[in-house]
Chains A and B, each alone.
Chain A
Amino acid sequence: MHAAFSSRIVTAKISQYLTAAVFLVWAITLSYFYYSGRAASYLHPFFIPNLAVAGFVLFILAAIAAFAPAPPTRQRRGGSLAGNVASCLFLTIPLLAATSISPSQFGATAVLNRGFIEDIGDLPAYSPPMDPPLPNADGTIGEGTMMNPSLYLAKNENGEIKAETVDLLYAASEEVMREDFEGQTVEVIGQFLPTRTDTSDGNRFRMVRMFVVCCAADARPVAILVEAQDVASFPEMSWVKVRGVATFPLEGDRRIPLLIATSIAPTEAPVQTFLY
């Protein structure tokens, strides 16, 4: 009887430390993602501070589990030591495995399975633009009236427009915005993806940026077509910087953004890989 009692005590003690270990692993993992900045590759900025708070709370729970055990009647039932060990492994191994093998972006498989956003109307949170207000009675331009594009379009060191894929999709559907870009040399950064059902002469590829609402799991690829004389071979989903002339030809029954490239070069991923 004494041996059975001792065995129960040992089992309870081991379970107590296992519980603390699980919380410690979770706390360290969440804190690591927050403080290393790696969370930015997974979450919308709105959710990132939650990791720091949750990590802190989990550290406290780990300390409580380790140093302030629950009274015997309140301890977790359940059991056998083997069951508790299995449970703890299930709560930690998948998280640790995913942390170690997960890349910081989707590959081509998931992107192709999700389907591209190639029309601005398909963009989450898209709302049609409202007409700008008319000029005032005295001819002055009121607040909210369309400004000179040179005042709001970012430029690179060569004076070329720095655009995102999503800007060109907007421009394709909005005539006023299209006038700002059409025929202009623009610089766009995105991820390289060869077209698989290309109707051109094989000299086009897609540039993709992932648009995120909440976390990477809901990311949707926003894509534009790039046409080049010589499409060099880049690894799928690698980051490239394309400089070229923005055009918006009618293909099929809709106007598409098509960048006629003058230079394509590999580049580093931007600080914010997602579009929000």
Chain B
Amino acid sequence: MEGVWFTFSLPDFSYAFLSVLLEGIPFILLGTLVSGLVEQFLPAGAMTRYLPRNAFLGICASSALGIVFPMCECGVVPVIRRLISKGLPISSAVAYMLAAPIVNPIVAYSTFAAFRGQGALEFTILRLGLAFFVSIIVSLAVHNLSIRHVLRQQVIEDLALNSQSGAPASGSFWKRMLLAMHAGTRDLFDVGRYFIFGVAVASLFSTAVNQEMLLPLALNDWFAVASMMGLAGVLSLCSTSDAFVAATFVAFPGIAKLAFLVFGPMMDLRLLFIYAAVFRKRFVLGLAIGLFVLIGLLCMRLSVLGL
């Protein structure tokens, strides 16, 4: 097997596939339930009322929202879909979507724990800081795009429908809870399909591709950063635990591990498909390339820190 880069095994694939599904379904479910509650109980315009009116400040605040409202990368998509329908600007929604899975206390703690003895505080600050910065830069770019270039046609139609139907349905608490469950159900169906497809692709790569083939790339900073981001994209790890995996790549420079930790929760094979439930395919592809280039360049600049 040594030297062979791809070896498929159906039992291994099904084992990895099932383990990610079992881990991810409860989080997807949580995200869609929250999205249903947002749909029914968050008054339209509430988000715009509480966030700063200035676009830049609004994006900054949204990027930091994960500190008080943490959400994992699987569950965040249905939530931002509903927040958009409640009037949250798309740029702010993208800022929350990209930053919340990293800029939150759980990930800060796990990163600090994983890098004990390897500059834990430095790594934790750099990871959260870089994720915050990248989400702002990307969201500012999204701010200049037309809604038609960002959201799927079906989502735009849903937005139009919501704006016509106005505020959440009135009625008793239980009636609204019932409607919230139905809204969550719809999101679960939409996101679930993309999630299953993404998990299948990620499981294929994580079991069939010989990961030791990447090791020679560790010798060059550029290749190391790019290959670690590629690996993060393929492995599709959860942001709460990916630091424990990243810390083991001792052959790779610190900037490559940092790139792994920032890029992975923002974009991986599984997310590529989950994002496509809300955003246009072309936008998702552009987002993936943009994040890859931006995070790669920023991490290369950070090499001056001697990580």
Contacts and interface: CB of A to CB of B under 8 A. Distances in A.
B9 A109 contact: yes
B107 to A, nearest CB: 13
Contacts of B22: 30, 33, 39, 42-43, 47, 51, 215
Determine chain A's interface SS by DSSP, over half rule.
Answer: helix
Interface of B: 1-2, 7-12, 14-23, 25-27, 29, 33, 113-114, 116-117, 154, 165, 178-179, 181-186, 188-189, 192-193, 196, 200, 202-203, 206-212, 235, 237-238, 240-241, 244-245, 247-248, 250
Given A23-B185, A43-B23, A124-B248, 6 more contacts: A50-B27, A51-B22, A74-B182, A91-B189, A98-B14, A112-B7
A210 to B, nearest CB: 11
Given A91-B192, A113-B210, A105 B182 contact: no
A94 interface: yes
Contact of B193 (A65, A87, A104, A109): A87
Contacts of A64: 178, 181-182, 185
B182 to A, nearest CB: 4
Contacts of B27: 50
Contacts of B26: 30, 47, 50-51, 53-54
Interface stretch (A114-122, A166-174, A244-252): A114-122
Given A90-B193, A95-B21, A216-B16, A57 B29 contact: yes
A185 B240 CA distance: 39
A61 interface: yes
B186 A98 contact: no
Interface string A179-217: 000000000000000001100000000000000011111
Contacts of A156: none
B232 to A, nearest CB: 12
Nearest to B30: A54
Contacts of A230: none
Given A74-B182, A113-B7, A127-B117, A103 B15 contact: yes
Question: Which residue, of B29, B113, B178, B211, has the highest number of chain A Cβ atoms within 10 A?
Answer: B29
Interface residues of A, number: 67
A113 B117 contact: no
Interface of A: 19, 22-23, 26, 30, 33, 39, 42-43, 47, 50-51, 53-54, 57-58, 60-61, 64-65, 68, 70-71, 73-77, 87, 90-91, 94-95, 97-99, 101-107, 109-110, 112-115, 117, 121-128, 196-197, 213-218, 220
A217 B189 contact: no
Contact of A113 (B14, B196, B209, B244): B209
A79 B102 CA distance: 37
B218 to A, nearest CB: 13
Nearest to B210: A113
A61 B184 CA distance: 9
Given A54-B25, A217-B20, A218-B245, A94 B15 contact: no
A197 B18 contact: no
Given A87-B189, A90-B196, A214-B238, A74 B16 contact: no
14 contacts: A30-B22, A50-B23, A50-B26, A75-B182, A91-B193, A94-B200, A102-B14, A124-B244, A124-B245, A125-B247, A213-B244, A214-B23, A214-B241, A220-B245
A99 B22 CA distance: 10
A112 B196 contact: no
Contact of A125 (B8, B114, B237): B114
B196 A43 contact: no
B15 A61 contact: no
Contacts of B182: 64-65, 70, 74-75
Contact of B114 (A77, A106, A114, A124): A124
A68 B185 CA distance: 13
Contacts of A220: 245, 248
Contact of B29 (A54, A77, A213): A54
A67 to B, nearest CB: 11
B18 A42 contact: yes
B11 A103 contact: yes
Contacts of B1: 109, 112-113, 196
B148 to A, nearest CB: 19
A119 to B, nearest CB: 8
A85 to B, nearest CB: 13
Contacts of B241: 213-214, 218
